[in-house]
A and B are shown apart, each in its own frame.
Chain A
């Protein structure tokens, strides 16, 4: 697969499928090759899909509040798999309870994510960032 391949999925025991469907549609419409691994995906599922397809970015979605637990050690595993440089985004409802967005963003940047998106981010913003980060027009 080529320059525009990205892996998309919902991590952990999360089953929220609607946003994924929407992102899939928007990313395809924007010309990306989307490898959608679906809901209930483990860290290993993401890594396997990225390795198999030579993807340039992994987009993780989480809506149910366990993202912090589900993403622990993900970056380390990516490095181990030789994917230390892959672009890593996450978005959704990332914390349980009311926490400031700055806190949430900081926490996930520490976990190795390049970009962290709050709830209600529209696909256009992600697409713009992806194109910029991947240097594609």
Chain B
């Protein structure tokens, strides 16, 4: 079979499915028919897409934490605690061994965790638990649960968790490969994710709408908006082709509120436009803001400020949901109390912002124009490199550097783009790599950076980028040079 952007043939999928279900012993308990029946028995309040629509209707931004621990009983307790603390949507974050399909190591980590009575894995090893264990999660909570991970090959994970009653699944062939692996070719991850999207499409054909979400923040480190938006649009198009009917595009907060609001608006507008233009007219599209994904301050008081600040951008950008960070982000995996504190903090902030859409529309529109033009010229090039095929275009674009992601571990990208903040904290390009950005816009970036160079009286350098990477964790948005005697 040739890898391209065409809906799979069912026979091809079924053949691959047999292989996939045999990669770990819990695969044999997956039964599509029973899975579909179970989904049909779920109350509306446990269905992700329904709750997203309800949120939109009520004008309520939904909150979702990140959470996952290895021991099932504790995981359920954790989720129940979060649903009583302002979570509208629940996660199950999968451990890193499972993400890399290392189920044996996940089993060892799970066994050791059970033996020592403490969590030695950084998430829930869903494949090892199988359909039955996963379904216990769904049975014991009253709101929808999404699988969140970072797996280039999540075929088995999807089969098991969807069959168990999870109603949303995060990831994509680009966003769960490039930031999450070193040597998985895009050809592989795109194929694996077509499988997942086809599976979700299969459920849809049987009347079960499962939400799919692209992982917008990518490396979470100063990602220029046009990069994550372009990639999100591509993943939406690929998912729609395989039959996905509910899709969320995501964006990691950058820190400059004008730029963030502009990005969120462009993301929604352009994703919708591309989906419609390419014939996918019945997709329920939603948007997601991730609170700041880079380094956090250790001081919890300061960390709360970062969280609250991000909430404002999400509110002004009218997103469907916010993925909430916690005050313990700098330390590692948070306690449930810290997680709940962050949810309550975010709810309080949103409810105080009610109806206050204060923002300089003119500045936002200016920024929107720039981002829109960047995204369009990137996507134009991807489409033409693919000779009209988004999958082929994606593969060729990454190898040509037309698509690129800063600070990503994958060896299949150029890795030449280098971001930097301007004097207002907006993320600009210090090095465009091979991104097809129009000259006029390149000059705009350079002018913006020049303002900072003048203000800080120092040339642009990698040191400046480093200062930006650590700035928020050290107390401010922009990585200003150190002043003698001052922190």
Contact = CB atoms under 8 A, between A and B. Distances in A.
Interface stretch (B179-187, B266-274, B378-386): B179-187
A96 B333 CA distance: 6
A59 interface: no
A15 B176 CA distance: 11
Nearest to A68: B120
Output the residue of A22, A64, A96 with the most chain B CB within 10 A. Answer: A96
A69 B332 contact: no
B298 A120 contact: yes
B434 interface: no
A68 B95 CA distance: 14
Contact of A93 (B97, B102, B331): B331
Interface in B334-377: 335
Given A18-B469, A69-B120, A96-B120, A13 B333 contact: no
B109 interface: yes
Contacts of B331: 93, 98, 119
A97 interface: yes
B121 interface: yes
Interface in B236-295: 294-295
A127 interface: no
B330 interface: yes
A66 interface: yes
Output the residue of B119, B180, B330, B331 with the most chain A CB within 10 A. Answer: B331
Given A120-B298, A120-B330, A66 B99 contact: no
B118 interface: yes
A98 B298 CA distance: 12
A106 interface: no
B335 A66 contact: no
A22 B219 CA distance: 14
A84 interface: no
A21 B120 contact: no
B108 interface: yes
B471 to A, nearest CB: 13
A62 B227 CA distance: 27
Contact of B466 (A22, A68, A120): A22
Interface string A59-72: 00000111011000
Contact of B122 (A17, A18, A64): A64
A14 interface: yes
Interface string A1-27: 000000000001111011001100100
Interface in A14-49: 14-15, 17-18, 21-22, 25, 38-40
Contact of A120 (B96, B109, B473): B473
B116 to A, nearest CB: 10
Interface residues of A, number: 25
A66 B179 contact: no
Interface in A66-97: 66, 68-69, 93, 95-97
B309 interface: no
A40 B97 CA distance: 11
Contacts of A122: 470
Contacts of A68: 120
B37 interface: no
A69 B108 contact: yes
Output the residue of A12, A13, A18, A120 with the most chain B CB within 10 A. Answer: A13
Interface in B443-487: 462, 466, 469-470, 473
B409 interface: yes
A15 B181 contact: yes
A18 B219 contact: yes
A18 B120 CA distance: 24
Contacts of B182: 15, 38-40
Contact of B221 (A12, A15, A18): A18
B127 interface: no
Contact of A13 (B102, B118, B470, B473): B102
A27 to B, nearest CB: 13
B8 interface: no
Contacts of B24: none
Contacts of B402: none
A119 B407 contact: no
B364 to A, nearest CB: 29
B462 to A, nearest CB: 6
Contact of B407 (A18, A38, A66): A18
B131 to A, nearest CB: 24
Interface in B106-123: 108-109, 112, 118-122
Contacts of B150: 15
B408 interface: yes
15 contacts: A15-B96, A15-B150, A17-B219, A17-B408, A22-B469, A25-B462, A25-B466, A39-B409, A40-B100, A66-B120, A66-B122, A69-B109, A96-B332, A119-B298, A120-B330
Interface of B: 95-97, 99-100, 102, 105, 108-109, 112, 118-122, 150, 179-182, 219, 221, 294-295, 298, 328, 330-333, 335, 407-409, 411, 462, 466, 469-470, 473
- Report, nearest first, the 8 A-B pairs whose CB atoms are least far apart: A17-B409, A65-B122, A13-B96, A93-B332, A39-B409, A13-B100, A18-B407, A40-B182
